[in-house]
Structure 1
Amino acid sequence: MVDNQYVEDKPRSGRPTKQDPSTVDIILSKVRLDRYGREKTCADIAGDLSKLGINISGTTIYRVLKNAGFRKTKPTRKPGLTKKMRAERLAWCLAHESWTLEDWKNVIFSDETSVILLHRRGGYRIWRTKDERFLRSCIRERWKGASEFMFWGCFSYDKKGPYHCWLPETAQEKRDAEKEIERLNNEIEPTLRTAWEIETGVRRLNLRQNPSGRKPTWKFTAKNGKLGRGKRGGIDWYRYQRLILLPKLLLFAQECAIERPGTLVQEDKAPAHNHHIQQRVFDAAQVQRLLWCPNSPDLNAIEPAWPWMKRRTTRKGAPKTRQEAFSAWKAAWQELPQERIQQWIERIPWHIKQIIELEGGNEYKEGREKKQQGDWEDV
């Protein structure tokens, strides 16, 4: 055996490596600087370094990033949150922090998702390591957009509920809606007028002992509760009430309440759901509702169902026609396992805990606890 003290390296030919520590640090800092750095190509980074007098190829930069544990991958998608939304999320989670799984078993989760024909998932990629998935610069906000049609569904911990594929409203349906809304307005106007007169009279007495000026007169407008429809079409309060609430959701809630008397219906604050007339419908059906906070799919157990169903309906190619899409989505809903639904509901308490720690934020990995290993997994 030769002692190391009698051995030394022979001079080698070739240029020295350009991957010196200072250059590597500059490359990594360029990538980690912000969201735009994450999206740069190796050639872009090489161009930035050339301005600093560092001549290095895109191939070498790729090797540097790969050796540092980076790979080009899709950015994490999360809903955009304003300060107000974060505050509302935090307040909502604090109010429900003490809820147990048994409490969540009483909730019916419902929502809609958009379906786009011939849609294939994909897009640009960013640089990140496996531990940087939920850094702010690695997240791209997801905002609401257009779709070919909407699919609605609901379920509870114990059973899967009805579904609905939204079709465009016909001219005859619009005419029928106008007549029905006119009938409803004639029905509710006397009650609203009486309430307005009492409120107005009390307010004038509080302002002055002898109120002066012109006495207000009743005008039945949207501000005072008159029902109407917008001109944009789509899913409004009337269509949601007539096609979802009355024939499907409330009947399912009443069915669930037989086994679970404390049944609640979860809805987000979409205008169609949050219209003031909908509360009258819930009250008439003796069903309680649980309003959600905005832009919080991580708190709605039905949201993970949509990626599952979109993978299911496009595994043999995306549907080419609306009828093909209808059939595929109906079949996928029937195939959705109840065990998977239960897993999505079971992870809500964990999500609430994470949101509270992040003060309303959503920069965390969604998942549930592994029963044996004690850590968390995606489901």
Structure 2
Amino acid sequence: MSMLCMRRLRQCYRETGQTVDRPRIFRPRVTTPAQDRYIRTSHLWDGSRMATTTARVTPGTHNPSISAQTVRNRLRESGLRACRPVVRQVLTRHHRQQHRLWAQTHRCWTRQDWQKVFFTDESRYCLTSGDGRIRIYRRRNELFTEVCTLERDRFGGGGSVMVWGGVSQHHRTELVIIAGNLNAVHYREDILPHVVPFLQAHPDMTLQHDNATSHTARSVRDFLQDRNVIVLPWPAKSPELNPIEHVWNLLVRRVRARAIPPRNARELAGALVEEWGNISQQELANLVQSMRRRCTAVLNVAGGHTRY
């Protein structure tokens, strides 16, 4: 024990006759327990509610109102913290029903069944992306709950590059750079030739693509039917079911991690093609093997958004 501590104990004993600390007078709490519950409940019902909004309508015990920082402190005490929301597409009741029915139909597919599916998709990459400064108050384990999810179309601004690719358990296509927007003619004449010859050589394989108009046009359906290509039925607005979506996210992270980031659309396209080739086939196989877990996750949320 230090000499300073001993002197303080002796002084305390002389003044009070004991060595325990004297009671201290703290600053009074500006909110009541009922107001604390109101603050917590308000932000649980509306995760995007701003702390300043709650502060304006919550009177203090000693002042006409409380500060926004007090609201943030109470939320932190309740286990709520401000985080960026997960962005997902808008789902109607019909979309959720279709997702649930599709997952029920395919949840019993084996790993061998999913090995016979060739997953394809397009994605647009932008040079710049806005933060939006939107924050959601949530608990640590509520990342993918519906009230903590922001539904939004995923096309951003600035210079951009649109790409197409396909993956399966043991194969992948090259990454195709799409000039301009993708329509049915472009898809039939420039995109499908990258995958149809492979599917014709492996008649047990099934093509997966979503319900974009460029994929479902009559000319495209006739083109695939004439070549005996089997197409997997796919529910609308279900990117979380497609493992290639994780490949797109992986490409984003790898391009952003480059020492010299791309400065224009041409450099961005080159970086995407290079990083596509750097993804190991084992990484792609692991994503394909997650399909049964994806179906189970969709059923657990009744066709809504999942962690995938």
Contact 1:269 1:291 in 2 (8 A): no
Q: Cα distance 1:14–1:250, how it changes in 2: closer, same or farther (>3 A)?
A: same
Deviations 1:288-326 (A, max 9, x none): 111311110111110111111111112246532111011
- Residue of structure 2 in register with 1:128 after alignment: 138
Aligned length: 287
Contact 1:162 1:252 in 2 (8 A): no
- Residue of structure 2 in register with 1:39 after alignment: 48
- Residue of structure 2 in register with 1:248 after alignment: 194
In 1: Cα distance, 2:163 partner to 2:212 partner:
15
In 1: Cα distance, 2:144 partner to 2:221 partner:
38
In 1: Cα distance, 2:156 partner to 2:145 partner:
28
| Pairing 1:263–2:205 present | yes
| Pairing 1:64–2:10 present | no
Contact 2:116 2:168 in 1 (8 A): yes
In 1: Cα distance, 2:141 partner to 2:222 partner:
49
SS in 2 for 1:112: strand
- Residue of structure 1 in register with 2:100 after alignment: 90
Q: Cα distance 1:120–1:270, how it changes in 2: closer, same or farther (>3 A)?
A: same
- Residue of structure 1 in register with 2:164 after alignment: 152
Contact 2:144 2:307 in 1 (8 A): yes
Q: Cα distance 1:318–1:145, how it changes in 2: closer, same or farther (>3 A)?
A: same
SS in 1 for 2:58: helix
| Pairing 1:272–2:281 present | no
| Pairing 1:323–2:266 present | yes
In 1: Cα distance, 2:22 partner to 2:60 partner:
36
| Pairing 1:30–2:39 present | no
Contact 2:30 2:60 in 1 (8 A): no
In 1: Cα distance, 2:43 partner to 2:156 partner:
33
Alignment of 1:352-367 (within 5 A): 352-362=295-305, 364-366=306-308
In 2: Cα distance, 1:120 partner to 1:42 partner:
22
Alignment of 1:365-376 (within 5 A): 365-366=307-308
Contact 2:129 2:156 in 1 (8 A): no
In 2: Cα distance, 1:146 partner to 1:235 partner:
17
SS in 2 for 1:27: helix
Q: Cα distance 1:94–1:122, how it changes in 2: closer, same or farther (>3 A)?
A: same
In 2: Cα distance, 1:242 partner to 1:21 partner:
67
Q: Which amino acid aligns with 1:287?
A: V
Deviations 1:7-51 (A, max 9, x none): 9995533432235422211110121122xxx22333332112139
Deviations 1:47-92 (A, max 9, x none): 1213997632222222222222221111122221111111221222
In 2: Cα distance, 1:326 partner to 1:334 partner:
13
The match for 2:128 among 118, 134, 156 is 118
The match for 2:294 among 351, 358, 372 is 351
In 2: Cα distance, 1:290 partner to 1:65 partner:
46
Identity %: 25
**Which blocks of at least 5 consecutive residues in structure 2 are unaligned?**
1-17
SS in 1 for 2:236: coil
SS in 2 for 1:50: coil
Contact 1:268 1:294 in 2 (8 A): yes
Q: CA deviation at 1:134?
A: 2.6
My pick for the range that moved more, 334-343 or 42-51, is: 42-51
Contact 2:31 2:60 in 1 (8 A): no
Deviations 1:119-160 (A, max 9, x none): 366642111111222332211113253663311000110122
Contact 1:79 1:295 in 2 (8 A): yes
TM-score under structure 2 normalisation?
0.84
TM-score under structure 1 normalisation?
0.69
Alignment of 1:202-217 (within 5 A): none
Contact 2:196 2:229 in 1 (8 A): yes
My pick for the range that moved more, 135-144 or 79-88, is: 135-144
Q: Which amino acid aligns with 1:298?
A: E
**Which blocks of at least 5 consecutive residues in structure 1 are unaligned?**
1-5, 169-233, 367-379
- Residue of structure 2 in register with 1:13 after alignment: 25
In 2: Cα distance, 1:327 partner to 1:149 partner:
10
The match for 1:338 among 259, 264, 281 is 281
SS in 2 for 1:119: coil
In 2: Cα distance, 1:54 partner to 1:345 partner:
58
Contact 1:118 1:320 in 2 (8 A): no
Contact 1:151 1:166 in 2 (8 A): yes
Q: Which amino acid aligns with 1:42?
A: A
Contact 1:264 1:290 in 2 (8 A): yes
